């Protein structure tokens, strides 16, 4: 099989083969990579514990496949094309050869700081090329990277550093975002002050050069650490199942968990999915607007495109700075061919008005993509008409941090499109829908919980330091299946439409937020006794955060109190988890066993107070009317 499918018929044939002969199917794809030693066994698996191994016995290094392998054929081609936050700022182009040498120098610097194979290295950085270089440098020497999105608070950063006992944290001095200049290193200092005993060194990349506090014991400048390092570095020989990275993500309970991906399977799936979904062609400019702090940036800014030898555009800024035409200005400036963004960005730009799309030459665009949350029909059509000029297929890509890569999506130009549908699974992916009792729903025109019943190469291997949690969260709800936490519908032609989370996770602007985490943060406020957080439909963000709060004292000025609560959440988690709506209540609807009836709270938050269903079995049915009444007075 050729790595890149070219027609819908080829897709169908490949799909069938992937089900009938999964090992043969994946062995063919894996054979297109460089391996130091070929695998002994393509796949061993069981979903009970779970225990999944791909390409075991195989040895390779993912950076050899991202860099060394391309030197002879495309050493002078741009690998990373950097567009800065400021329109007047300096565009940087790193060729494959330059990127290779920078990664090697950085890898050598990390080694000389004592970083060894298997050590964990945390990143807390803006969207600058050094972030990609640093991540690849870790992979080069077999260190495990754990990138934390630079919008998280010091306390979230400290939790993540400590959960995986990172040895080094790599950051920038400051982060330019729109009109702001965010002190990134200061947040790292605050995190370390909270207690991060495993951290030996802080490697600081000079981004803006503004003055900052310096700790002579721990802090090391990136440029000084790299100064006289050799420009080559032997890639560490990694087993296919060695850990490549950890990425923390929120779930319905407890603290965020460290999703673990391993070298071989992740590598194979990242390139395979990139080439097929976007139908990348040699020489094209590809731009994914995500942040490397999320899985989309890992798989589709860094690894997927570089494995495929693509030119990957990295953008430091935000969609609305200096104005809402920024994305389209960048598309014109760099003649972008493939553009991949989130529905929330599309909705925000659509709301800003069509005039911001006008006057830019978008004729280079060939493929458009979306990711992170369901796309509503209105946004889909706007994207198709105003940006794609009805000439570009839109790939609505469904996947998760845990899946490592795109699982359900059209293949651009091959799969028939249906607005708001992620359409069909990639060959090698076997989704199914199940009802609450775990029975698989057969046939089409059904709706249920989305599960995957067979492993794919980049499936989550474990949650760092707590394998039982991985089993419980993903493999215990339904027997012998990976449970996604999403609900979906399958139409008459077998196409999937993702409806949204069926657990207590809310998706705010494409960011996953656990309601329990937000509640814990709110409860830190001294006046709060208890709280319940739910999502509600939000025009731009997809979902907004609605918090019901019980206090043990009169709160006085409501505006001041709400501000304090939002500050508390910002301090503990980060600004992305700030509640949009806060309603002070005297009680929460509870079942006789003391469980909060979230169903009722969700309906009230959505403004749907007519059909609350049977509330007579509640312990305290009288609070429902009070909550309904109170909801009328709150504003977003
Ligand atoms: C949601 C992001 C609808 C879904 C790659 C999933 C989507 C969660 C889509 C994972 C899509 C992602 N349509 N919903 N195309 N893509 N989601 O881990 O609820 O940040 O479970 O990974 O985002 O979010 P995560």
The residue whose CA is least distant from atom 11 of ligand 1 is 398
Average pLDDT of span 402-414: 98
Q: How far is the CA of 126 from the centre of ligand 1 (A)?
A: 22
Tokens found for residue 231: 């420009």
Instruction: State how far the Cα of 615 lies from the Cα of 129, in Å rounded to an integer.
Output: 55
Q: How far is the CA of 244 from the centre of ligand 1 (A)?
A: 22
At 396, which helix (H) or strand (E)?
Answer: strand 394-397
For ligand 1, say whether the CB of 296 is within 6 Å of any of its atoms: yes
pLDDT of residue 636: 61
Q: How far is the CA of 486 from the centre of ligand 1 (A)?
A: 8
Alpha carbon of 10 to those of 5, 16, 119, 148, 258: distances in Å?
A: 6, 10, 43, 39, 37
Peptide bond into 50 cis (omega under 30): yes
pLDDT of residue 476: 97
User: CB neighbours of 533 closer than 8 A, spacing ≥ 6?
Assistant: 506, 515, 518, 519, 522, 545, 546, 547, 548, 579
Is the distance from CB of 136 to CB of 114 less than 8 angstroms?
no
pLDDT of residue 374: 95
Report pLDDT digits (tens) over 373-399: 999 999 999 999 999 999 999 999 999
Is the distance from CB of 218 to CB of 202 less than 8 angstroms?
yes
For ligand 1, say whether the CB of 185 is within 6 Å of any of its atoms: no
Is the distance from CB of 116 to CB of 168 less than 8 angstroms?
no
The structure's pTM equals 0.97
Report pLDDT digits (tens) over 564-623: 999 999 999 999 999 999 999 999 999 998 899 999 999 999 999 888 888 888 889 899
Report pLDDT digits (tens) over 53-109: 999 999 999 999 999 999 999 999 999 999 999 999 999 999 999 999 999 999 999
User: CB neighbours of 557 closer than 8 A, spacing ≥ 6?
Assistant: none
User: CB neighbours of 546 closer than 8 A, spacing ≥ 6?
Assistant: 533, 534, 535, 536, 579, 580, 581, 583, 601, 605
Which strand ranges, in their side-by-side order, compose the sheet holding 431-434?
A: 431-434, 446-452, 482-490, 496-501
Report pLDDT digits (tens) over 216-231: 999 999 999 999 999 9
State the average pLDDT for the chain. Answer: 97
Tokens 């060894």 -> residue:
116
**Closest-lying ligand 1 atom to the alpha carbon of residue 402:** 18
Q: Three-state SS for 598?
A: helix
The residue whose CA is least distant from atom 10 of ligand 1 is 400
DSSP assigned state of 424:
-
Number of residues that this document lists for the chain: 636
**Closest-lying ligand 1 atom to the alpha carbon of residue 408:** 15
For ligand 1, say whether the CB of 344 is within 6 Å of any of its atoms: no
- Which band of pLDDT confidence, cut at 50, 70 and 90, is reported for residue 635? low
pLDDT of residue 289: 98
pLDDT of residue 609: 87
């Amino acid at each position: 099989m050729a790595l890149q499918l070219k027609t819908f018929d080829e897709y169908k044939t490949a799909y069938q083969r992937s089900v009938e002969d999964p090992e043969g199917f994946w062995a063919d794809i894996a054979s297109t990579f460089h391996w130091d030693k070929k695998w002994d066994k393509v796949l061993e698996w069981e979903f009970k514990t779970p225990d999944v191994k791909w390409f075991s016995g195989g040895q390779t290094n993912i950076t050899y496949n991202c860099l060394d392998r391309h030197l002879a054929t495309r050493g002078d081609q741009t690998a990373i094309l950097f567009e800065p936050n400021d329109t007047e700022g300096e565009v940087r182009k790193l060729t494959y050869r330059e990127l290779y040498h920078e990664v090697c120098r950085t890898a050598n610097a990390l080694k000389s700081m004592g970083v060894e194979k298997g050590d964990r290295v945390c990143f807390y950085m803006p969207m600058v090329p050094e972030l990609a270089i640093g991540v690849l440098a870790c992979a080069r020497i077999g260190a495990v990277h754990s990138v934390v999105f630079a919008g998280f608070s010091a306390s979230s950063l400290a939790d993540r550093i400590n959960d995986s006992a990172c040895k080094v944290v790599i950051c920038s001095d400051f982060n330019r975002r729109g009109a702001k200049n965010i002190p990134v290193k200061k947040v790292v200092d605050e995190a370390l002050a909270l207690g991060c005993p495993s951290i030996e060194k802080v490697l600081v990349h000079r981004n803006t050069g503004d003055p900052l506090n310096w700790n002579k014991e721990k802090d090391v400048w990136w440029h000084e650490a790299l100064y006289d390092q050799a420009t080559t570095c032997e890639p560490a020989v990694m087993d296919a199942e060695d850990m490549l990275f950890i990425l923390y993500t929120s779930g319905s309970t407890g603290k965020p968990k460290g999703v673990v991906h391993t070298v071989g399977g992740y590598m194979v799936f990242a390139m395979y999915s990139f080439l097929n979904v976007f139908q990348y062609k040699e020489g094209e400019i590809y731009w994914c607007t995500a942040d490397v702090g999320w899985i989309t940036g890992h798989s589709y800014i860094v690894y997927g495109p570089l494995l495929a030898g693509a030119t990957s555009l990295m953008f430091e800024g935000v969609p609305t700075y200096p104005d809402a035409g920024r994305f389209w200005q960048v598309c014109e400036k760099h003649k972008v061919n493939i553009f991949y963004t989130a529905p929330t960005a599309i909705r925000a730009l659509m709301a800003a008005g069509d005039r911001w799309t006008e006057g830019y030459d978008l004729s280079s665009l060939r493929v458009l993509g979306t990711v992170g949350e369901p796309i509503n029909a209105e946004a889909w059509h706007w994207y198709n008409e105003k940006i794609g000029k009805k000439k570009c297929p839109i790939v609505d890509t469904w996947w998760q941090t845990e899946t490592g890569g795109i699982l359900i999506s059209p293949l651009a130009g091959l799969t028939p499109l249906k607005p708001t549908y992620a359409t069909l699974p990639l060959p090698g992916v076997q989704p199914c829908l199940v009802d609450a009792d775990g029975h698989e729903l057969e046939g089409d025109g059904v709706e249920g919980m989305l599960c995957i019943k067979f492993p794919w190469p980049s499936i989550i291997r474990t949650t760092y330091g707590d394998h039982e949690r991985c089993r419980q969260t993903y493999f215990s709800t339904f027997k012998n299946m990976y449970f996604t936490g999403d609900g979906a519908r399958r139409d008459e032609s077998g196409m999937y439409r993702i409806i949204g989370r069926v657990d207590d996770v809310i998706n705010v602007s494409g960011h996953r937020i656990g309601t329990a985490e937000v509640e814990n943060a709110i409860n830190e406020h001294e006046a709060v006794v208890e709280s319940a957080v739910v999502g509600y439909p939000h025009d731009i963000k997809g979902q907004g955060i609605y918090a019901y709060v019980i206090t043990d004292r009169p709160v006085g000025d409501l505006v001041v109190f709400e501000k304090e609560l939002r500050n508390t959440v910002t301090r503990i988690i980060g600004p992305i988890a700030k509640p949009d709506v806060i309603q002070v209540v005297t009680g929460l609807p509870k079942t006789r066993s003391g469980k909060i009836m979230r169903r009722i709270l969700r309906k009230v938050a959505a403004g749907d107070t007519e059909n609350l269903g049977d509330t007579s079995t509640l312990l305290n049915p009288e609070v429902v009317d009070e909550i309904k009444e109170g909801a009328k007075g709150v504003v977003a």
